[in-house]
Amino acid sequence: MTLPQTFLWLGLFLFGRTAFAQSTRAVWLDELAIKSFSEGIPAVLGKTNAAGDSMRIGGSYYRHGVGVNSTSILAFWLDGHAKTFSALVGVDDQGQKNLPHVFYVIGDRNILFESRVMRRGDVAQPVSVDLTGIKRLGLLVRVVDEGLTKVYSNWADAQFVMLDNHQPKTIPNTDERYILTPSAPQTPRINSPGVVGATPHNPVLYTIAASGERPMSFAVNGLPAGLSLDAKTGIITGQVAKRGTYPVTLHAKNALGEATKMLKINIGDTISLTPPIGWNGWNSWARNIDQGKVMASADAMVRMGLSDHGWSYINIDDAWQGKRGGPFNAIQPNAKFPRFKEMVDYIHALGLKAGIYSTPMITSYAGYTGGSSDFADGHLTDSIVANKRAFRYVGNYRFETNDARQFAEWGIDYLKYDWRIEVPSAERMSAALKQSGRDIHYSISNSAPFASVTDWVRLTNSYRTGPDIRDSWNSLFVSAFTLDKWAPYGGPGHWNDPDMMIVGNVTTGSEIHPTRLTPDEQYSHVSLFSLLAAPLLIGCPIEQLDAFTLNLLTNDEVIAINQDPLGKSARLVQETDGIQVWLKPLEDGSYAVGLFNVGNFGKTPQSYFRWGDETATSFTFDFTKVHLKNRYALRDVWRQKNLGPYTGTFHTAIRHHGVVLLRMFPEK
């Protein structure tokens, strides 16, 4: 080859390399829909700190970045299409003083960056990591905040350098949506709770929930005076004057057979003898809720068959409220609810119950009329309407009695009362509801202080034990797997409430989307809520339920654990190598046991993220270690399958973040 030919070949080679080289571009973290990447509980915000204010670290201002609150988990799917990640990290100048934070960048299980221990006032620490070949990336801030608020920190000037036109995506949730529970038989099966409580002279609404082929007829032996049954619908209504416990026998009959079940009707001072089970509209529609959507949800509860398995509450959350007025000078519905009483009557005619939302604050969290005011007549001024966030406090004039009388007049069965919980407001509304002339389940929200738990037991029917739940394993873990200390206080008439359920399509923090919980995590979610005797309130559009989610919500043996008349919450009785054992005694002397593979969540930086290579764990459940007797007949509750007698131990494999849910019947 001549020298000119050599230069020509070299030029063509270099030109070809340049022509085929991958281009790169910078992507600011705050340009992404960052809330959809967050698996923490508090909100994350782009271009500001987590309070929505200027982002500052050690006195320096940053125009770009993401502000986070408390322990923060951001997970990204890069699939090998990223080159670098860089940022400046530190505690925001408005954050908690002297609280130590540590920042991590983790790629495909490897820690690529770990900051020094950082506190408010420290100068920002630079981050620069090579992401070549990385598929999954996690940005983690670990901080033990012990319930403190305003735990602000920042990923300032954070950006990816991406290859070509690729963008970071959310972690795919493509695990098989496997169905465990067999279909309910076409012969009748009664699924409603075996106990119900009502106050003397107050209206009763109890629906015999039964699955099986339709048409079906119903009968009841021993109904107390004042109650009557609609034999076609199974709806029991009326009122009972005399206190006491009335045992009755329920019957459901179709062309294939007949089912019976004993029911105790307790007329006294305690309602909500089993946890409420139903639907709440916030995680479905948020502020876009309206009368049509509520009535459609009630229709779907019946049409999809959920009501046949005991699901009964249709609860409206925030955003129904209009101005104060009417005969009671109470909160009236806004224009989205033009025929409120008609809507409630429609829900009741389906055999379902109706719930509503309010707050003792001047304005609700969504900015609507609340239960107090700084004006004697309770009106809202233009300045309040224009600056609603500034009026999230309890005003000088309070209207609990007015609003409770209006709720009772409409026929409301459930009140979610939402604010920064303190005893005086809780006590005033408790008294108002008891004097309203109607039994209304009283649920307070959110993050009830544990120090006042005996007050919540005394005053309410359920109380939120933590912050708003999000559809992530971290949020589920914090909301439910940490409730052992609350367990002794929950029971008939006063239930520990870890918030709504996060199955189906949800709107927790972003546009409506399928839950980010894996199928294994969803089985764990429903299992633990049932073991805890927690309220079961799904937060998804009912008409959008797919076959997997519907199957998840209609296993009558799981629901029966939740609705067990004994009303005991499960306790965490063992934790070994990432496996938790939760044990719940039941009324018939058997036990419900959940074996959960929590994967040592929170104990290492890597454990906060899902890496896609997780495997099942083998576990031997030793009965004696949790103080159980030696021999039991075991039943797999999700598969509704008898496993046979076991003596001493039971060995099984438990999928990552999954569960084995057992019913244990002692043998002689």
Strands 277-280 and 313-315, how do they pair? parallel
DSSP state of 438: S
DSSP H stretches of helix in 268-353: 282-285, 291-303, 340-349
8 Å CB contact between 470 and 44 = no
Between vectors from CA 163 to CA 160 and to CA 165, what angle results, nearest 5°? 100
Say if residue 327 is preceded by a cis peptide, omega within 30 of 0: no
8 Å CB contact between 67 and 49 = yes
Say which of 92, 157, 468, 471 is annotated catalytic: 468
Say which of 92, 317, 403, 418 is annotated catalytic: 418
308 an active-site residue? no
Cα 86–chain centre separation? 34
Cα 155–chain centre separation? 28
Between vectors from CA 140 to CA 138 and to CA 145, what angle results, nearest 5°? 160
145 an active-site residue? no
As given in the structure block, the two tokens for residue 539 are 């937060």
**Tell me, what amino acid is at 612?**
G
8 Å CB contact between 533 and 585 = no
DSSP state of 118: B
Residue 14 backbone phi and psi in degrees, to 5 = -65, -40
Task: Look up tokens 């209504």; give the residue.
Answer: 237
**Tell me, what amino acid is at 615?**
T
First-last CA distance in the chain: 95
Rounded-to-integer distance, Cα 61 and Cα 93, Å:
10
Cα 636–chain centre separation? 25
Give 145-149 contacts, CB < 8 A, sequence gap 24+: 145/70, 145/71, 145/96, 145/99, 148/96, 148/99
Quick one: which of 298, 327, 511 has its CA closest to 409? 327
Between vectors from CA 56 to CA 53 and to CA 62, what angle results, nearest 5°? 95
As given in the structure block, the two tokens for residue 659 are 């569960």
As given in the structure block, the two tokens for residue 425 are 């407001």
Quick one: which of 462, 443, 447 has its CA closest to 534? 462
8 Å CB contact between 284 and 540 = yes
Task: Count the Cβ atoms, other than its own, within 10 Å of residue 29.
Answer: 25
604-627 burial: b if 16+ Cβ within 10 Å, else e:
ebbebbbbeebeebebebebeeee
As given in the structure block, the two tokens for residue 523 are 């089985």
Rounded-to-integer distance, Cα 498 and Cα 483, Å:
8
Q: Which residues pair with 333 in a beta bridge?
A: 321
Collapse the DSSP code of 143 into the 3-class scheme (helix H, G, I; strand E, B; otherwise coil) and give the result: coil
Rounded-to-integer distance, Cα 78 and Cα 639, Å:
37
Rounded-to-integer distance, Cα 372 and Cα 92, Å:
35
Between vectors from CA 506 to CA 504 and to CA 507, what angle results, nearest 5°? 175
Residue 637 backbone phi and psi in degrees, to 5 = -70, -40
* Residues tagged active-site: 418, 468
